[in-house]
A = this chain, B = another copy of it.
């Protein structure tokens, strides 16, 4: 079977790598904090000292990193993927980064004979553990078809939406919809509470009509119980929305609600809650309501 390299073993990367190992793929891993790799190494993965060493050892390299500069550094740093890569390497970047930066990276990779897919995901840690992520892929069709068996190990829904950068653009769209739905649910549940109406029952009845969403279900529940352990950190959602707003400017598309959601996440992060789940956005609304009361 194809030897797979995996760089970035955070909350998402670790379970994704475990699923690849469990599916029988020989795995070579690297992480900035190598202690994160220990459980994978115990389970049979090989360790590599740098992204370059990963690229040398593997036929397909997957990266799962926090932000655009991290991906650029891992790819183009002095001991980065490009430094260790031979022609014919396939690189699947599953991080959520800027669509424009991803498109440029794909061009620079292609110049070195590296075929790149951008393949960001939705579905959170739960989806990563269960191997049911929704994977949005940009890149050429031949490379996509070749990587499909690997992607299907991690994803329940794997769709190629277009050429280089299109996966990241789709992920930006995903985060727009998630962010607006999340803020809408927060507005509704806080209003219900302030009006003295049972917010849990409101959530329940809304799930039966056109207001139904996975966010109302999962994050609405978190808002009611106050369980804000991530999940998906507010700071990462803001990063994705900043990427979305950049794309909006690039393509001349107005993102009014998304810009307001970004500001609400700014407020959440400024209040010290950036490492909480993004559903803690409800606390911003509660603070605003309290201010109004006070």
Q: What residues of B have a CB within 8 angstroms of the CB of A206 in the complex?
A: 122, 134, 170, 173-174, 177
Whether B177 and A216, one on each chain, are in contact in the complex, defined by CB atoms closer than 8 angstroms, is yes
**CB within 8 Å of B: which of A193-236?**
194-198, 201-202, 204-216, 218
A293 at the interface (CB under 8 A from B): yes
Contacts A173-B206, A209-B127 given; does A252 touch B293 at CB 8 Å = yes
Chain A interface residue bracket vs B:
35 or more
Contacts A177-B211, A210-B214 given; does A169 touch B157 at CB 8 Å = no
Whether B202 and A161, one on each chain, are in contact in the complex, defined by CB atoms closer than 8 angstroms, is yes
Q: What residues of B have a CB within 8 angstroms of the CB of A188 in the complex?
A: 172-174, 176-177
Q: Mark A106-131, 1 if CB is under 8 A from B, else 0.
A: 00000000000000011110010000
- Chain B nearest Cβ from A263, distance in angstroms: 9
Whether A194 and B251, one on each chain, are in contact in the complex, defined by CB atoms closer than 8 angstroms, is yes
Q: Mark A254-270, 1 if CB is under 8 A from B, else 0.
A: 11111011001000000
Q: What residues of B have a CB within 8 angstroms of the CB of A254 in the complex?
A: 187, 190, 285, 288-289, 292
Considering the chains assembled together, what is the distance between the CA atoms of A264 and B256 in angstroms?
Answer: 10
Q: Which residue of B lies closest to A278 (CB)?
A: B210
- Chain B nearest Cβ from A44, distance in angstroms: 30
Across the interface, A215 reaches (CB within 8 A) one of B157, B213, B292, namely: B213
Whether B191 and A172, one on each chain, are in contact in the complex, defined by CB atoms closer than 8 angstroms, is yes
Give 5 pairs: A residue, B residue, CB < 8 Å, sorted on A: A138-B197, A160-B201, A161-B198, A191-B255, A213-B216
